[in-house]
A and B are shown apart, each in its own frame.
Chain A
Amino acid sequence: MTGADPILEQAAAWIVRLGDDDPAERAEAERDFVRWKAADPRHAAAAARIDGLLGRVRALSGPATARPALAALAAAAKPRAARPLAAGAALLLLLCLPVWAALSLWPPAYLLADLRTGTGQWESRELADGTRITLSANSAVNLHYDATSRRLELVSGDILVDVAKDAARPFLVDTAHGRIRALGTRFTVDRRDGETVVEMLDSSTSITARGQPAGEAPLTITAGQSARITAAGVTRGAPVDPASLADAWTRHQLVVSDRPLAEVLDELSRHRPGRILYDRDQIAGLRVSAVLPLDDTDRALRLLRSSFPALRLRTLTPYLVLVDAPP
């Protein structure tokens, strides 16, 4: 510290060294400290002053008083000293917020995917082998093609695959929940939070869940059937209509039959900028069967309301819609 008494500075340094947790260093400091004090009476006096000051602090350090003392010191700490720190923290938070928001909206796996679509975007792509893949909004896939297999990893979202025939290389779709093995076919794969849903438009696929014991036969589903893959295993779902499903993908529609309203709102969210907020508990009992336009989510929301008169939609801004069902 500039302008401080050099003797006091030394005394402070000595006293700190005497508190070293390494016994060897402490012993050495003690030896040297005695010598330093003996060298000049002012040294001893300075050390006694610093030590006296510390004595007052140490008196409060017992188990009974340290916590109340810390609480009191925190309460009385000068706000002036704290403010730049708080402002700095606030600024840091502000700077980190977009990154956090971006990461929560688009996790790294999504950002690093080979193919991906943003909110409200659709994309169709013909892959090297002639397979056609359509990505719905907010979807991401990684492609792993090699000489022996064609593997597509669905990181998030909803895809329609029209697999080109290649007897030598099977076509596989992997999600966090399981694997779908196509046997030359057209189907959709929707990766949701706790499950993956497969719907068959043509031909058939065989499906295994990730946690399925080896040796257990995969479930085979054919056109017009669906399956759900969860951690628990693969189960058959409700039948689907291949023609209207194909239609829905061409026209960018969401076809739902008997699905919880919350899930439908989540799907709609993927197709519109901003957010749809709802109280999951309040709308828990509501289930939807509908065909909803995904390119016009405002209309989709209005359609939903018309089938649920109890539903209240409040558009706070074009980017924030509140959905609830007041009792």
Chain B
Amino acid sequence: MPAADAHTIHTLYVDHHGWLQGWLRRRLGNAADAADLAHETFLRLIASRDALIGLQEPRAYLTTTARHLLIDRSRRQVIEQAYLAELALLAETLPHYPSPAEIMAAVEALSQITRALDNVPPRAREAFLRHYLEQQTQADIARALGVSKRMVQKYLAQALLCCHLHCPALAEHGL
């Protein structure tokens, strides 16, 4: 990280960290969660340092980022609940119940996939989940969606690309 950026972030942190944490505490009603999220917000800021160039309204930027994190967090809770609920339903038929670490990894991956799929058009999203998650063949998906296999391949490529563009973290984790 160039020195100028490090300096900018340091200044931002010093100037606004306390304020952001207070803002989050009022929203969450919980000091520990607020501290965690404030920390995460700054991490996000560092990760996307391009956004810092010419930052005019640092507090507006911080709250926007924090808001996104809040939404992610609630979605993550939704994901975790739905995942665990379905897992509990399947519990008796599973050869082995996943360990807490496996569940955590799955929930983490799922929240990234969710974010990545947000920008994928519905049909492409469906083709993507059927193929890569449910392991249906491209021919089966073509039949189910009433399109040609060539079209299914287009959907899949579109979904892959879209996921990559909107959630690079998903790709980086995998490497």
Q: Name A residues whose Cβ lies closer than 8 Å to a Cβ of B.
A: 1, 4, 8-9, 12-13, 15-17, 19-22, 48-61, 64-78, 81-82, 85
Asked whether B174 lies within 8 Å of A16 as measured between CB atoms, the reply is no
- The answer on a CB contact under 8 Å between B161 and A9 is yes
B-to-A contact residues, CB < 8 Å: 75, 78-87, 90, 94-96, 98, 105-107, 109-114, 116-118, 122, 125, 129, 131-135, 137-140, 153, 156-158, 160-165, 167, 170-175
Tally the A-B contacts, defined by beta carbons under 8 Å: 150
Having A16-B157, A56-B109, A68-B84, one finds 19 other A-B pairs with CB under 8 Å, namely A12-B161, A13-B153, A16-B160, A20-B138, A21-B138, A54-B174, A56-B113, A57-B109, A60-B133, A61-B133, A65-B106, A66-B134, A66-B135, A69-B110, A70-B134, A71-B86, A75-B81, A77-B114, A81-B122
Q: Which 6 A-B pairs have the closest CB atoms?
A: A52-B174, A75-B82, A21-B137, A68-B86, A71-B86, A72-B83
What is the CB-to-nearest-CB distance from B77 to chain A, in angstroms, rounded to a whole number? 9
Once A51-B174, A52-B174, A61-B135 are accepted as A-B contacts, the answer to whether A73 and B129 lie under 8 Å apart by CB is: yes
Most buried by A among B137, B158, B164: B164
Q: Is the CB of A76 within 8 A of B75?
A: yes
Contact B160 A76 (CB under 8 A): no
B143 CB to closest chain A CB, in angstroms? 12
In the complex, are the beta carbons of B95 and A53 less than 8 A apart?
no
With a 10 A CB-CB cut-off, give which of A49, A70, A72, A85 has the most chain B CB atoms.
A72
Tell me which of B79, B140, B158, B171 contacts A72 (CB under 8 A): B79
* Majority SS at the chain B contact face: helix
**9 residue pairs A–B, Cβ–Cβ below 8 Å:** A50-B164, A52-B172, A56-B109, A56-B112, A60-B113, A61-B132, A70-B133, A76-B111, A81-B125
| Interface contact A76-B138, CB-CB below 8 Å | no
Whether A72 pairs with B160 at a CB distance below 8 angstroms is no
Closest to A14 in B: B157
Report if A85-B122 is in contact (Cβ < 8 Å); known contacts: A52-B173, A60-B106: yes
- The interface residues of chain A lying within 8 Å CB-to-CB of B79 are 72-73, 75-76
Answer whether A64 and B95 are a contact pair too, CB < 8 Å, given A56-B170, A73-B114: yes
Q: Let me know if A49 and B164 touch, CB within 8 A.
A: yes
Chain A contacts for B137, CB-based, 8 A: 21
